[in-house]
Amino acid sequence: MIQNKAYKIRVYPNEKQKQIIDNNIGSARFVFNYFLNVRIEKYKDNKESFGYNLCSAELTKLKKLDEYSWLKQSDSTSLQQSLKDLDLAYSKFFDGIKKGKDVGFPKFKSKRKAKLSYRVVMSINIINNTIKLPKLGIIKSSHNFNLSKIEKINNATISKSRSGKYFVSLSCEVDVKVKHHTNKQVGVDLGIKELATLSDGVVINNPKYYRKYEKRLVKQQRKFSKMKAGSSNREKQRVKVTRLHEKISNCRVDYINKFTNQLVTNYDTIVIEDLNVSGMVKNHKLAKSISDASFSEIRRQLEYKCKWYGKELIIINRFFPSSKACSGCGNIKSDLKLSDREYVCEECVLSIDRDLNASINILTVGTTGLAC
């Protein structure tokens, strides 16, 4: 089955290639900001809509001016992709208004805060463990590609992390094999103490990577804050802090990848709750632990992996009282506290682990379709 799949690979450009990448990132950001300003001004002055085609024609004229001749040094398709990204941001904004959602108006990209990347769509070739890209030529990578699975390369996004590492993300059409069917169903209760409790009794430990590296991070951040602004030592220390943040993030994503792979391999139907994570993190006592567990990332990975491998993901209503309902008789225990780790039913005298009880309820509700 052909599916869209992305591969993010670290690459090792030489000094000349680094300079070209940095210049192209700057050019793509400039084009986005320049034409966002043009569209805003056009609408203010004449209530005129200035769409992608008009922006593209204007960009061609802009390149011919001596003041902006440096834009010719960048890959032309990457600048067109910036215009498409801007047009997409406008479309999402207006679609959000129609649907009553607060999507937000397109914002200018800050040099310090915006993602450092640009996208190309043509002349992308893979040769063993190297990638050939327009304007850059052949770049060494850390990955040996299995070309037999890749049907087509749609585009490549070249990015630079804040710690100075370079990556290429390839969006490909890949022949993905559907995983074998096990005829098993599972309810998943996500938590903080344990990352997940499954309805069949399996418990997934929470590694708590942020807590693990927190003391080291505090020490490095304290060093950074005491250094003189603009000094080379401060910049070196900034890179150290950034790399530690990246390490925490990479460890967390890798662990969640293994966990979600385990779920889609062992079960045909997976049932989870529609958690209100943005509301949960407003509890300042639990916000750090909730963010460290990364519930949204678990859901995101399950959604696309179930689609890839022919499995079913069911998401139940967030207002269903999965923890307070008895999995034996259905009685609701309204006075259940967060500190109560054992669920004891007053009606049927069932005594069961709180999280296991919740996961069984999630599975029951998801498979019967009562609260979807």
State pLDDT tens for residues 165-214: 999 999 998 888 888 999 999 999 999 999 999 999 999 999 999 999 99
Residue 9 phi/psi, 5° resolution? -125, 135
Give pLDDT, residue 157. Answer: 95
Give pLDDT, residue 371. Answer: 44
State pLDDT tens for residues 115-152: 999 999 988 988 878 899 999 999 998 777 766 678 88
Say whether 326 sits in a helix, a strand or coil: coil
Active-site position among 75, 87, 268, 355: 355
Average pLDDT value over all residues in the chain: 90
Give pLDDT, residue 92. Answer: 92
The whole-number average pLDDT for the span 100-126 is 89
Active-site position among 189, 235, 303, 353: 189
Q: Is 113's pLDDT higher than 90?
A: no
Q: How far is CA 260 from CA 198, 210, 246, in A?
A: 12, 20, 21
Domain locations in the chain as residue ranges: 2-175, 178-372
Model pTM score: 0.86
Count of CB atoms situated within 10 Å of the CB of 364: 20
> Annotated catalytic, 189?
yes
> Annotated catalytic, 355?
yes
Residue in this structure with the two tokens 């390490």, named with its chain if needed: 247
CA distance 275 to 278: 9
> Annotated catalytic, 15?
no
Active-site position among 75, 87, 268, 273: 273
